[in-house]
Amino acid sequence: ARYTTCTGSLNHTSVKHTHSVILILTKLYDFNLGSVTESSLWRSADYGTTYEKLNDKVASKTILSYLYVSPTNKKKIMVLSDPEAESSVLISADEGASFLKLRLTFNILSLLFHPVEEDWILAYSHNQKLYSSMDFGRKWQLVLEHVTPNRFYCTLDLYSARYVTCRVQSCTEGGRTYPFRGSIDTSSLVVQDSYVFIQVTTAGRASYYVSYQRRPFQKIRLPKYSLPKDMHIVSTDKNQVFAAVQEWNQNDTYNLYTSDTEGIHFTLALENVKTSRGQEGNIVIDLYEVAGISGLLIANRKVQNSVKTYITYSKGHDWRLLQAPSTDLAGNAIHCVLPFCSLHLQLKMPENPFSSGGICSESSAPGIIVAAGNVGTELSYSGTGMFISSDAGNTWRQIFEEEHSIWFLDHGGALLAVAQAAGPIRHFWLSFDEGLQWERHSFSRVPLYVDGILVEPGIESHIMTFFGHFSHRSEWQLIKIDYKSVFTRECTQGDYQTWHLLNQGDPCVMGQKQMFMKRRPGSHCMQRKDYPRVFSAESCICTASDFDDYGYDRRGDGYCSPSFWFYPTAVSGSCSHGRSDFNGTGYRQVVSNNCKQGMKELYTARRQPCPTQPPRGLQLVTSDGRLMALMGNNVTFLVSLEEGDSLKMNIWFDFGDGITVSYSNLSWAEDGIKHVYKTAGLFRVTTLAENSLGFDSATLYLHITCPVERLHLSAPVVALQNTEVNLTALAWPMHSRIVMFFWWIGNSTEPIITLKGSLSHRFSFEGMTTVTVQVSSGNTILQDTRTVAVQEFFKSLLLSFSSNLDEYNPDIPEWRQDMEKVIKVSDVPKQNLLVALFPGIPTIAELFLLPHTDQPGSSSRSKEELIRISEVLISVLNQNLVEFELKPGVQVTVYITQLTLAPLVDSSSTQHTSALLMLLAVVFVGLAVFSIYKFKRYVFFFFKITSYCKIIFSWDCAKV
């Protein structure tokens, strides 16, 4: 073995291999600074025997972050710089022998290579922009902005399917198409093989859609009452979808479902499969698909409060527990009887790409499964040993008492085992007879903390590389091992034997009998990679176990019956009279099942004439699933029919606004029926489907809203205690039945909600009370607030002004509010004198005289004082002695118009106050003396009272 030391700690490593070339990127992370301070790029051209440091070739001061190898041309390498230091990319076309450094105008977060075109790359930036390159990173073009992370894909049909879809170099708005008319949930787009999946959540309930071979989206059909909370696509190979669904009553488990070829109809495969969280918070399903044998799956299922391991040979059709080994490693008998005791396996996949995980298998070694596990009543993560099966899970043997990492060598012909120890190790184990015997070998003179193992970097090589540390403070060590010398020769025909795949003795697995070629145990010969593993495959006669179907449950006797919610006699709305359609038999041949004849003819759906049926299951929805739209916008209605001849069905539509339409058949409405509402309101939308045998109808209530632009709260300036008053909210524009009003009075924490802009209320306590109202219409919410003075009694006068004031009155709330801010009465407390200015022309105001709240003595004295003060004011106003200067040269005279209906208003009386009659109350204080605050200084203007008295009104003025 040759030792190669690389400087820098193994805080992060990227290892890529291309033929005989190995590229390693190491980064030194400074925990004090919280960042990477240096990086090194290493290259080996001799399978890891020697390494060359390439920092001088790629700019020594450049900190590198990620290393990529083109999946279609291993000679093309791309290395990204650390975006915190600089934004650049290094590209190589000769397996890293030379690099070209290019500056970028954006920071790359991740790359996606096209599966066929070697020079096509998508780059995702830190600011959610997607770029494309058609020349392996030399030039970049912006494709789209605001792209969801990890939700962009490359396809094989020259389209970059984002749904938005567009040609990768012409993704302008005009070049985009939107195959799905609604809004999809963020991060729900998944593209795998021939399938595209999206999720739409409406009213808290998730629906899932699939597009097969880029055809129009179809709604995924799960059993009616599964009510999924979450769905994960497990696999999409062999023209079938394997999905894990978390249903409404599950928290830490998922149910497994398998689909038909189109990915539309799903049937239950296994309930309550164990799940866990990965390091990045992702859901990990405890399900393992055994390599090399179609339909062979192993899953950990939660049964009550314990977890047990199950195996299926029919891709989820039938499951059973694993038979435990008959003896332990020492040869002692194990007393483990099904179903009370069985073998349980750890199905976790490795977080470290250079580790093997809890279970492994290889397509080049069909039937061999190696996993960590335990024997008992349930899965345990303590007392774990290593077990192997050489016959695809039918029988098991224990090979180690402690957990080991396992790799397949020599194209599946040998097994490598390395102990998963917390401390350093110096040995590994090799087996050439499927784990029956193990040979111990040393890979280092000094024990090594193993960080990972790179196995077979070359296509035809027999090399493995250990990397790790001698101590936690030492440098990184690479140890290359060429194990070719353990083989004496290449394998010949005589070194192989046949092996028949069985399922508990049944030779028919997934509808066929399969025979494989396996190397004889103990033959120390090298296998060729292209040696055929499958020797023969013969189809079996079909039985009931080879079938399932959507909407059917399998009974204990093995036969199928319809679920309680499924109607097998129902005829699809697309089945038109005079045509034919396939009938539902309850039996659909499992995808990838290869059985022939037998019950296939009996169970296969046959074409039958489409009968004429009355319409049933008519459904009416909007295209976005919402029951609210803005006035003037297009609303698209979608109609669907569960049963009935859609081509011979009259459809009638009433939009609720006096407009109706009709169609001769449902096909005219397949793309949706558009309508524009010109008025706001609540509309009853009805559709009717009718033929000669009957009819069906559906109704929805649609809210058409118009944003509220203004809100004004009208409340009395003064209100009598314990007397009912009216509060009015004026919204513009106002539309009945579609707006809601929320009223908060005083310190209330819960609002009073009304559908009308008026509210009657009694104020129970004296003092200043705040009234707030909000109006909600669509997505718009406006608010207005007023303050009401609640009194036991008060005095009020109605005032008018000379006509020249009207010339300067714009009759808007702001003008009246500004008057409130700049006018006040000298020597009179603000809380005892209030003025309400009415909207409209001529300008009119109402003066309110309030008693002292802290005045000692009886209330009768306060009433008498209010009467005396009002008499003085009336006398002065009647003689036209009060005037003020609005602006230089503009004198305004104040008049008394008339007394209010109640000269002295008392809460003990039943008379009405004029305060209750106001249309709009804007409080400002002032009558005798106006104080105007302007430019941070006060200027006082006095009313000129001629031939009477030249004093400032105060409470004592009543004595004059």
CA–CA dist 923, 786 (Å, integer):
9
Please give the residue that has the higher pLDDT: either 166 or 300. 300
- Structure confidence by residue, pLDDT tens digits, 62-80: 888 888 899 889 899 999 9
Please give the residue that has the higher pLDDT: either 587 or 314. 314
576 and 638 belong to one structural domain: no
pLDDT at 909: 41
Count how many domains the chain has.
7
- Structure confidence by residue, pLDDT tens digits, 434-471: 999 999 999 888 999 998 888 865 445 688 888 888 88
pLDDT at 203: 65
Q: Which of 298-302, 794-798, 862-866 has the lowest mean pLDDT?
A: 862-866
Decide: 44 and 34 in contact? Cβ < 8 Å: no
Mean of pLDDT values over 491-497 = 89
pLDDT at 2: 31
In a domain, residue 878? The reply is: yes
pLDDT at 572: 57
- Distant-in-sequence, close-in-space partners of 29: CB < 8 Å, separation ≥ 6: 9, 11, 12, 35, 36, 37
- Structure confidence by residue, pLDDT tens digits, 320-334: 999 999 999 989 999
Is residue 914 predicted with pLDDT exceeding 50? no
Is residue 97 predicted with pLDDT exceeding 80? yes
- Lookup: tokens for 448: 């090594």
**Which of 20-29, 174-183, 381-390, 565-574 ranks highest by mean pLDDT?**
381-390
854 and 923 belong to one structural domain: yes
pLDDT at 772: 96
604 and 715 belong to one structural domain: no
570 and 450 belong to one structural domain: no
The sign of the torsion formed by the CA atoms of 17, 18, 19, 25 equals negative
- Distant-in-sequence, close-in-space partners of 141: CB < 8 Å, separation ≥ 6: 131, 132, 133, 169
pLDDT at 375: 96
Is residue 903 predicted with pLDDT exceeding 60? no
Please give the residue that has the higher pLDDT: either 453 or 475. 453
- Confidence band of 611 (pLDDT split at 50, 70, 90): low
Pairing of strands 449-455, 890-899: unpaired
Please give the residue that has the higher pLDDT: either 460 or 753. 753
- Confidence band of 578 (pLDDT split at 50, 70, 90): low
Mean of pLDDT values over 273-290 = 87
CA–CA dist 355, 572 (Å, integer):
52
- Confidence band of 565 (pLDDT split at 50, 70, 90): confident
In a domain, residue 425? The reply is: no
Q: Which of 43-57, 536-550, 661-675 has the lowest mean pLDDT?
A: 661-675
CA–CA dist 51, 56 (Å, integer):
14
> What one-character DSSP code corresponds to residue 475?
P
Is residue 728 predicted with pLDDT exceeding 90? yes
643 and 573 belong to one structural domain: no
Mean of pLDDT values over 859-875 = 78
Please give the residue that has the higher pLDDT: either 923 or 576. 576
In a domain, residue 355? The reply is: no
* Residue at which a domain ends, from 759, 774, 789: 789
Is 273 strand, coil or helix? strand
pLDDT at 162: 38
By percentage, how much of the chain surpasses pLDDT 70?
81
pLDDT at 700: 94
In a domain, residue 635? The reply is: yes
820 and 931 belong to one structural domain: yes
- Structure confidence by residue, pLDDT tens digits, 247-280: 988 988 999 999 999 999 999 999 999 998 877 7
DSSP 79-92: EEEPTTT--EEEEE
590 and 685 belong to one structural domain: no
pLDDT at 762: 93
Please give the residue that has the higher pLDDT: either 944 or 37. 37
- Confidence band of 164 (pLDDT split at 50, 70, 90): low
Residue where the block lists tokens 């046959």 = 606
- Is residue 339 reached through a cis peptide bond, with omega within 30 degrees of 0 on the bond before it? yes
**Strands in 476-511 per DSSP E:** 476-482, 489-490, 496-500, 508-509
- Confidence band of 393 (pLDDT split at 50, 70, 90): very high
606 and 635 belong to one structural domain: no
Q: Which of 61-75, 464-478, 552-566 has the lowest mean pLDDT?
A: 552-566
Is residue 300 predicted with pLDDT exceeding 90? yes
Is 345 strand, coil or helix? strand
CA–CA dist 641, 615 (Å, integer):
7
- Structure confidence by residue, pLDDT tens digits, 98-127: 999 999 989 888 888 888 889 999 998 888
Please give the residue that has the higher pLDDT: either 817 or 315. 315
Is residue 960 predicted with pLDDT exceeding 80? no
Is residue 174 predicted with pLDDT exceeding 70? no
- Structure confidence by residue, pLDDT tens digits, 729-743: 998 887 766 788 999
- Read off the CATH number of the domain in which 774 is found: 2.60.40.10
Is 16 strand, coil or helix? strand
Domain that holds residue 168: 108-178
Please give the residue that has the higher pLDDT: either 943 or 165. 165
810 and 921 belong to one structural domain: yes
Is residue 758 predicted with pLDDT exceeding 70? yes
Mean of pLDDT values over 417-441 = 91
In a domain, residue 254? The reply is: no
* Residue at which a domain ends, from 705, 736, 767: 705
CA–CA dist 37, 33 (Å, integer):
9
In a domain, residue 10? The reply is: yes
In a domain, residue 36? The reply is: yes
693 and 730 belong to one structural domain: no
Mean of pLDDT values over 928-938 = 30
869 and 953 belong to one structural domain: yes
Q: Which of 101-110, 514-523, 828-837 has the lowest mean pLDDT?
A: 828-837
Mean of pLDDT values over 822-842 = 69
pLDDT at 905: 55
pLDDT averaged over the chain?
Answer: 80
- Confidence band of 831 (pLDDT split at 50, 70, 90): low
607 and 623 belong to one structural domain: no
In a domain, residue 827? The reply is: yes
Overall pTM > 0.75? no
| ∠ CA 777-781-787, rounded to 5° | 120
pLDDT at 949: 32
